[in-house]
């Protein structure tokens, strides 16, 4: 009987967790429904103001904002902070979708639309659902996770094709070379799969490229 009580207690906790997950989805849908057109910017949380990557991200986000795009980020520091600051200074909506973590991730002060999530997968849905393009700045595991998820969903036709841009060819060169030398050469991917994303270095070129896919 005691064992049955333990199982019932676990089931109850899981049931209440479902309500929390649904609440996070509802909050996102209600708050992000009118942010289009928006571009999601990913990248490292581990760069400070004054760092070259921070300044490049700020400049790109501000340029995108001045061209009519709102900016979505993960709401934290580093690249996310720079992108939110650029969006705010460029006069666009600056959306920060924060994740609750025991370390590293703290909301930056430049987002004027703020959400906070407990679950990574709910947060990912918001990034994908409301973005018309992804700009992937240099970053770590989290950045790669977001990049590969978007590429996989497009490859498998689970979502519409949209611009996925890797910014800074020098940073991403090793990864792309590995994809070609290993994944492509061993037939793990098709050659056209490499066309799902583009590698770009010029902010003006990025803006013009995105504009081709989006009706402002």
- Residue 20, in any domain of the structure: no
Per-residue pLDDT of the chain (216 residues; tens, 9 = 90+): 444 444 455 555 777 888 888 998 898 888 898 899 999 999 999 998 999 999 999 999 999 999 999 999 999 999 999 999 999 999 999 999 988 776 656 889 999 999 888 888 898 999 989 999 999 999 999 999 999 999 999 999 999 999 999 999 999 999 999 999 999 999 999 999 999 999 999 999 999 999 988 765
- Residue 60, in any domain of the structure: yes
- Residue 25, in any domain of the structure: no
- Residue 179, in any domain of the structure: yes
- Residue 26, in any domain of the structure: no
Nearest-angstrom CA–CA distance, 210 and 61: 13
Nearest-angstrom CA–CA distance, 155 and 162: 11
Nearest-angstrom CA–CA distance, 106 and 57: 18
- Residue 121, in any domain of the structure: yes
- Total domains in the chain come to 1
Nearest residue to 82 via CA among 33, 47, 124: 47
For the domain that residue 77 is a member of, what is the CATH number? 3.40.50.450
- Residue 4, in any domain of the structure: no
- Residue 155, in any domain of the structure: yes
Range of the domain at 180: 35-211
């Amino acid at each position: 009987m005691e064992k049955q009580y333990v199982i019932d207690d676990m089931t109850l906790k899981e049931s209440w967790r479902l309500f929390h997950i649904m609440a996070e989805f509802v909050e996102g849908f209600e708050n992000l429904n009118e942010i289009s057109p928006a571009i999601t910017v990913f990248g490292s949380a581990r760069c400070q103001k004054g760092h070259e990557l921070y300044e490049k991200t700020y400049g790109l986000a501000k340029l995108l904002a001045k061209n009519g795009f709102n900016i979505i980020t993960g709401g934290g520091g580093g690249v996310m902070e720079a992108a939110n600051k650029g969006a705010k200074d460029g006069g666009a909506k600056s959306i920060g979708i924060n994740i609750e973590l025991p370390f590293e991730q703290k909301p930056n002060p430049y987002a004027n639309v703020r959400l906070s999530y407990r679950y990574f997968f709910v947060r990912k849905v918001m990034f994908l659902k409301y973005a018309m393009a992804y700009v992937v700045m240099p970053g770590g595991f989290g950045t790669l996770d977001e990049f590969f998820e978007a590429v996989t969903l497009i490859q498998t036709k689970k979502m519409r094709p949209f611009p996925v841009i890797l910014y800074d060819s020098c940073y991403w060169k090793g990864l792309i070379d590995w994809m070609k030398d290993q994944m492509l050469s061993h037939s793990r991917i098709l050659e056209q799969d490499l066309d799902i994303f583009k590698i770009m270095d010029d902010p003006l070129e990025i803006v013009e490229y995105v504009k081709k896919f989006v009706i402002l």
